[in-house]
Structure 1
Amino acid sequence: MPKSLIYRPVLIDGLITNHRIGSYARVFNTRNDLELMGVYLWNLSVCAALYPLVSSAEVTLRNAIDAALTGDLGRFWWKKTKLHYKSFVPNTNAPYPVNFLYGNFDTAAGAVIREARVRHNRNRHTPLHHEVVSKTEFSTWEFILDAEFMGNNLIWPKNLGKVFTGPWPSQQASTTLTYLKDLVTTVREFRNRLFHHEPAWKRFGVLNEANALAHLVEKIRKIEELITLISPEKTELLRKNGILQRAYSACTSAEIRRHQHAGVIHKVASMSKLAHVVELAHLNSTMEKICIYGKSKRVFTIS
């Protein structure tokens, strides 16, 4: 049982470190190591629940932009001879956002070549369009939304409605493009925290559990908003398959208590009681623990 584990010195001091876990103790006001480890494991659970949502946002954005620009400019649309920008002047360096974008695609192509050599023993592989796109960093799809690419005979605004088919925040394309870029930046930075094993709840101004939960819910809403702006149908797919609800449900005080082994355990001795707990979990979008006694005590989780 978790209460019988010895958390120090190995588990906390050695394998997690006090420097990392100290912020959990302060923000979540834990009273002992069981509660401290519980909230630490809760953060891992939150990251797991958010992973498919964040991945969906990244892949949906990438594929929507690539499909629209391939239809407009053709395959390998990111080549300098195809992807033009507003402040172009012959024989001068491109501005930072443009150079950054070109560099991202060069890096992605290099990654394709390395993978072909290492995994498939192909030493002279020419990267295909879809291979390069699949190897791009998330930041690629942030910088492609830069205002440098907005103007007459440029990719925006003529392709904006093809990529973002949901309700726009403004009727003005330039305002919408700025809003979208900021939104993608927010999602990308949060995604990086998750993927680099940082506490998902952490940011400046988060001082207690309520702040942490509010911050997480805000980020989920931003991710949901981005996906909806691209494709309301994709959002509906995630909703109907429980991906969105799982993310929101993970970011609750009840889930923290469950991981701290401080939540309610329902004793089930009849089918009617079991049905009641199942209905409770469904109505509240929570995970409920039940305990069944037979030859031995057994604990299950219902979601």
Structure 2
Amino acid sequence: MPFGFTEEELDHFSMVLSASRLSTYLKETDNNQKLAMDLYLWQMKLCAAFSIPLHIFEISFRNTVAEAVANVHGNKWPWKEGFIQSIPRQKKYYCAQNDLRRKAKEHETTGSVVAGLRFAFWEKMLTNRHVKIWEEQFPIVFTGWNDRRPILDSVKYCREEAERIRKFRNRIAHHEPIFSRNLNTDYKRLIEMLNLINPAVGDWIRRVSTVEDILGERPDK
């Protein structure tokens, strides 16, 4: 899809997108309205391209962590009080234990609970609180793991990278500007995490993704 707007289209888009939203793009393009809109369009295309690896990562990450939990606590883990009590209860921003209890009441199958839990829940599973799970299960469920570092160091790395990906995903979901980020690093992080989960999936994403192509199409100043 080519870039470009007619003068009339520029006026209409400027009205519907709001001056405050466009000001970020105008600042980046030295108040060139046409270039600002080209940048806005480019970012929309890029966000759409990122949706594929983000989609696959989010689902595969939660399923991988859920598999590890089931291997240790059984397939009915969402209703096992012993496991539930092992989940942190901090109330600031997000309480993983409360989230699990709510979803376990709302759903009758483990799969539905897994799909309903917030992404932050799966992040919080990758902590030293669950060391017994990860010392056994990390090399099993993260099939691309071949690191010489101690397993718990890899668990920490995985949690931190997942958090960064979640925050990046949230910026896209909330239609916030991402053009000033190091987007090559964001994409590389996604691929590395997918390779850690399953190298074949990481390879497939690299083959079908258009992220790198669109990154090279950014409108110049």
* 1:70 aligned residue: 70
Higher strand share: 1
2:6 is aligned with 1:3: yes
Q: Which amino acid aligns with 1:199?
A: P
**For 1:11-41, what per-residue CA distance to the aligned partner results, in whole angstroms no more than 9, with x for missing partners?**
21x311121111112224352x221111111
Q: What is the CA-CA distance between 1:169 and the residue it aligns to?
A: 4.5
Q: Which amino acid aligns with 1:234?
A: V
Q: For the pair shown, which has the larger CA radius of gyration, 1 or 2?
A: 1
Kindly report the root-mean-square deviation, in angstroms, between the aligned alpha carbons of the 2 structures.
2.5
Q: Is the contact between residue 89 and residue 96 of structure 2 (CA under 8 Å) also seen in structure 1?
A: no
Give the whole-Å Cα distance in 2 for the aligned partners of 1:168 and 1:147.
20
Give the whole-Å Cα distance in 1 for the aligned partners of 2:31 and 2:171.
23
Give the whole-Å Cα distance in 1 for the aligned partners of 2:84 and 2:136.
14
Q: Is the contact between residue 164 and residue 231 of structure 1 (CA under 8 Å) also seen in structure 2?
A: yes
Task: Give the structure-2-normalised TM-score.
Answer: 0.86
Corresponding residue pairs, total: 215
* 2:189 aligned residue: 222
Q: 2:95 aligns with which of 96, 100, 109?
A: 100
Matches within 5 A, 1:21-170: 21-29=22-30, 31=32, 33-78=33-78, 79-82=80-83, 85=86, 96=90, 100-109=95-104, 113=106, 126-150=107-131, 154-170=132-148
Q: Is the contact between residue 89 and residue 97 of structure 2 (CA under 8 Å) also seen in structure 1?
A: no
The change in CA–CA distance for 1:163 and 1:29 in structure 2 (over 3 A counts) is farther
Higher helix share: 2
Task: Give the structure-1-normalised TM-score.
Answer: 0.64
Q: What is the CA-CA distance between 1:168 and the residue it aligns to?
A: 4.5
Show structure 2 runs of 5+ residues with no match: none
Q: Is the contact between residue 68 and residue 133 of structure 2 (CA under 8 Å) also seen in structure 1?
A: no
Structure of greater relative contact order (alpha carbons < 8 Å, 6+ residues apart): 2
2:213 is aligned with 1:249: yes
Q: 1:198 aligns with which of 176, 180, 183?
A: 176
What percent identity do the matched residue pairs reach? 21
Q: What is the CA-CA distance between 1:62 and the residue it aligns to?
A: 1.0
Give the whole-Å Cα distance in 2 for the aligned partners of 1:216 and 1:128.
38
Q: Which amino acid aligns with 2:99?
A: N
Q: Is the contact between residue 170 and residue 176 of structure 1 (CA under 8 Å) also seen in structure 2?
A: no
The change in CA–CA distance for 1:256 and 1:169 in structure 2 (over 3 A counts) is farther
Q: What is the CA-CA distance between 1:239 and the residue it aligns to?
A: 2.5
Query: 4+ residue runs of structure 1 moved beyond 4 angstroms?
Result: none
Q: What is the CA-CA distance between 1:233 and the residue it aligns to?
A: 1.1
